[in-house]
Amino acid sequence: MELALQVFREFLTPQNVALSAIGVVSGIVVGAVPGLSVTMATALLVSMTYAWDTKPALAMMLGVYAGGVYGGSRSAILINIPGTPAAVATGFDGYPLAQQGESGMVIGVATVQSFIGGILGLTALVVAGPLISEFALKFAPRDYFLLVAMGLSLVSRLGAKSMPRALVAASGGVLVGLVGMDPVTGEGRFTFGLPLLIGGVHFIAVLIGLFGLSEVFYQLGRIGRGTAPQIQIPEVGRILPSWASVLRFLPLSLRTSVIGVMVGALPGTGGEIAALLAYDHAKRTVRKPTRPFGQGAIEGVVAPETANNAAIGGALIPMLTLGIPGDAVTAVLIGALFIHGLRPGPLLMVEMPDLFWFIAGSYAMANVFLLIFGLMAVRPFVKLVNVNKKILMPMIALISVVGTYAIQNNIYDVFWMIGFGVLGYFMKLGDYPVGPMVLGVILGPLADINFRRAIISVRGNVPAFLGELFTNPISLILTIMLLAAFIPKLPEGGILGWLRRLLRLGKREGA
C-alpha cells in the first residue's frame, strides 16, 4: 500500500495528468464516432508513443480506453447509432429517453454510471485480480458457449416490441455472421464461391449500416414527404443526477458491475456481451422501472453503462495478472508493453509492482476525467441533435462511410455498410428491430466456434458433452441460467407467454 501511495505520487505529475486528460477526451470522440474503434486508437498511440517513456504512454492509452468505451453511449443515446458494439444495449432505452427530451439527463446518468462501473471494475482488479483470473481460466469452451448462447437467447427479448420479428432479425444476423472462412476447416461458408465473401462481413460495417445509414434513409424519406417531425428538444435540463437517484440505482449498479467484471475478465468476451447480459439482468430483476423497458427505462441505461465500463477493469485483470488479453484493446496494450521492453506475463505484477499500481492509478485518473469531461461537454452534443435533419442526416451518412472505411481501410466494407443500410431501411419500414440483427452478427460466430471447440474436445460425443453441462460446477450454473432465460417473467413475455397467447389465439380462431 505504501508502494501504491508512492506510485500515485509519481503518477500525479502535470505531464501524466495532462496526457490522461487528453486521452480521455480523444477516447470519447473516437468512441462516439461509429467505425473509429478504441482498439484502433490505442494501436495508433502505440506507434505515436514509441519513443516515449512507458508510463506517460500508458497513462494516455488508458485514458483513451476508458473514454472510448464510454463515448460509444453518446451517439447511441443521441442519434441511436451505437459508437461501439458495447453501446448497442445503451440505445435500447437511452434513445427513447432522448426522444422524450431527456437527453441531458440520460447522458448525465450514463456518465455517472460509467464512472461507477469503472471504479468498481478497478476495485475488483486491485482487490481480487489474481483470484478472478484463476477463476476465469476454469471456463471451458462449453462454458463460453453457454454464455454466448445466453446472450443469443436474450436478443429476442431486448428492446423489441414483437418477439417473432426480433427472432427473425437475430437469426438473419447469425447467418450473416457465419459468412466467410470456416474457422475449423478453412472452407468457405455461404460464400457462393466468391473470393470477396471469404473474409466475411465485418460486424462494425453491419452495425453502421443497420443503425446509421438506414436511419438516414428513413429520415430522408420522411423529409421528402414533408412530414419529417423536427424533434425539438426543449431544454438540456438537469445533467448531473441527484445523489438520491444515484443511491436508488446503486444496488443495480453493483450487480451489473459484477457481471461486467466477470465477463470482461474472460478472455474472448468483452463489453458487448457484458452490457447485453447486464441489460437483461436489469429487465428481469427491476420490478418497477422508471418507464417500461424499451421505452425509456433509466435502469436500461444504468445497467449496460456500468457493465461495459466495469468490463475494462475485468479485461485488465488477465492482462496484468497473466499477460493474457481480456479483449482486443488489452491485446494492443500487451503489445505496447512488449514494445517498451517490458515482459507482460504472470511475473509482471511480482517483479514490477509499481507498474501494476501505475496502471491502476492511471485508470482511476482516467475515470475521474471521464466524469468531469462527460458532464462538461453535454450541451454542445445535445445541440448537435437539434441541427436541422436536412443537414444532420447527410453528415451522418458521411460519417458512416468514412467510419466504415476506417475499420480496415477496405472499400468493400463500405459496400456492405450501404447494403445493410438499405436492408435496415426496409426492416424499419416493416417494423423489424435492427438491434437483434447486429447482436446476432456478433454473437453467432462466437457461439459457433465455442460450440465446435466444446464438441471437438469430446471428439463429437454428444452424450459426453451434455453430461459435462451438468457435472462441472461452472457449466451447471451457466446451464441453469441459460434454461432460466427461457422461463418467462409472468404473467407475460418470454417464449412460454408467447406460446400461450398463440394457443389462445388459435383456440379462438378454431371456435
Partner 1 sequence: MHATTAHRLVRMFLVPALVIALAWGVAISPSGAQVYPERSITGIIQWGAGGTTDRVSRRITPLAERGLGQRIVLSNMTGATGAVGMQYVFDQRADGYTLLYAAENPTLYGVLDISPRNFDEFEPVSLMARSIPVVVVRSDSKLRYLTELIHLAKQQPGQVKAGSTGIGGVPFVVGAMMTAVSGVKFNPIPFDGDGPAIPALLGGHIDFHVSVLAAVAEHMRAGRMRALAVIDNVPSDVAPGVPALGQMMPEYRPYLPWGPFFGVWVKKGTPAPAIRRLVDSFRPAVAAEDTREFLDLIGAVPMNMAGDEAVRWVKNWQSVTAWLLHDAKATQKSPEVFGIPRPRR
Residue of the chain from 222, 343, 379, 489 that contacts partner 1 (CB under 8 A): 343
- Segment 298 to 327, residues that bind partner 1, using CB under 8 A: 318, 322-325
Interaction of residue 471 with partner 1, rule CB under 8 A: no
Residue of the chain from 13, 15, 47, 461 that contacts partner 1 (CB under 8 A): 47
Cα 288 to Cα 112, 285, 291, 299, 387, distances in angstroms: 21, 9, 8, 10, 35
Residue of the chain from 195, 229, 380, 473 that contacts partner 1 (CB under 8 A): 195
The stretch near partner 1 (CB under 8 A) out of 75-83, 156-164, 251-259, 404-412 is 404-412
Looking at the Cβ atoms of 134 and 431, the one nearer to partner 1 is 134
Looking at the Cβ atoms of 97 and 322, the one nearer to partner 1 is 322
Looking at the Cβ atoms of 40 and 302, the one nearer to partner 1 is 40
Give the integer Cα–Cα distance in Å for 315 and 136. 11
Q: Compute the least distance from the CB of residue 498 to partner 1, in Å.
A: 36
Give the integer Cα–Cα distance in Å for 25 and 366. 10
Residues 494, 158 contacting (CB under 8 angstroms): no
> What does residue 189 show for φ and ψ, rounded to 5 degrees?
-115, 130
User: How many degrees, rounded to 5, is the angle at CA 453 between CA 452 and CA 456?
Assistant: 80
Place of cell 496494450: 333
Residues 301, 292 contacting (CB under 8 angstroms): no
Q: Is 80 left (phi over 0), alpha (psi -120 to 50) or beta?
A: left
Write the single-letter amino acid at 458: V
Interaction of residue 345 with partner 1, rule CB under 8 A: yes
- Segment 374 to 393, residues that bind partner 1, using CB under 8 A: none
Look at the chain and count its residues: 511
Question: Which pairs count as long-range contacts for 446-450, CB under 8 Å and 24+ apart, including other chains?
Answer: 446/144, 446/148, 446/268, 446/269, 447/145, 447/148, 447/149, 447/152, 447/174, 448/177, 448/178, 448/183, 449/183, 449/184, 450/141, 450/142, 450/144, 450/145, 450/148
Residues 75, 82 contacting (CB under 8 angstroms): yes
Interaction of residue 4 with partner 1, rule CB under 8 A: no
Residue of the chain from 65, 115, 139, 358 that contacts partner 1 (CB under 8 A): 139
Interaction of residue 400 with partner 1, rule CB under 8 A: no
Site string for partner 1, 26-45 (x = CB under 8 A): -------------xx-xx--
Looking at the Cβ atoms of 19 and 348, the one nearer to partner 1 is 348
Interaction of residue 136 with partner 1, rule CB under 8 A: yes
- Segment 253 to 272, residues that bind partner 1, using CB under 8 A: 267-268
Residues 300, 93 contacting (CB under 8 angstroms): yes
Interaction of residue 189 with partner 1, rule CB under 8 A: no
Give the integer Cα–Cα distance in Å for 263 and 269. 6
Looking at the Cβ atoms of 456 and 484, the one nearer to partner 1 is 456
Q: Compute the least distance from the CB of residue 152 to partner 1, in Å.
A: 19
Interaction of residue 341 with partner 1, rule CB under 8 A: yes
Looking at the Cβ atoms of 84 and 113, the one nearer to partner 1 is 84
Residue of the chain from 4, 52, 99, 199 that contacts partner 1 (CB under 8 A): 199
Cα dihedral across residues 300, 301, 306, 308: positive or negative = positive
Looking at the Cβ atoms of 6 and 408, the one nearer to partner 1 is 408
Q: Percent helix, strand and coil across the chain, each rounded to 5?
A: 75, 0, 25
> What does residue 356 show for φ and ψ, rounded to 5 degrees?
-55, -50
Residue of the chain from 12, 130, 231, 338 that contacts partner 1 (CB under 8 A): 338
Q: H-helix or E-strand containing 184?
A: none
- Please count the residues of this chain forming the interface with partner 1, following the rule CB under 8 A: 54
Interaction of residue 183 with partner 1, rule CB under 8 A: yes
Q: Which three cell numbers stand for residue 322?
A: 497473466
The stretch near partner 1 (CB under 8 A) out of 218-226, 270-278, 328-336, 356-364 is 328-336
Q: Compute the least distance from the CB of residue 335 to partner 1, in Å.
A: 4
- Segment 424 to 463, residues that bind partner 1, using CB under 8 A: 449, 452-453, 456-457, 459
Looking at the Cβ atoms of 299 and 448, the one nearer to partner 1 is 448
Q: Which of 167, 24, 109 is nearest to 304 (CA)?
A: 109
Looking at the Cβ atoms of 37 and 309, the one nearer to partner 1 is 37
Residues 90, 142 contacting (CB under 8 angstroms): no
Looking at the Cβ atoms of 319 and 382, the one nearer to partner 1 is 319
| Site residues, partner 1 (CB under 8 A) | 39-40, 42-43, 46-47, 50-51, 136-141, 181, 183-186, 195, 198-199, 267-268, 318, 322-325, 328, 331-336, 338-339, 341, 343-348, 408-410, 449, 452-453, 456-457, 459
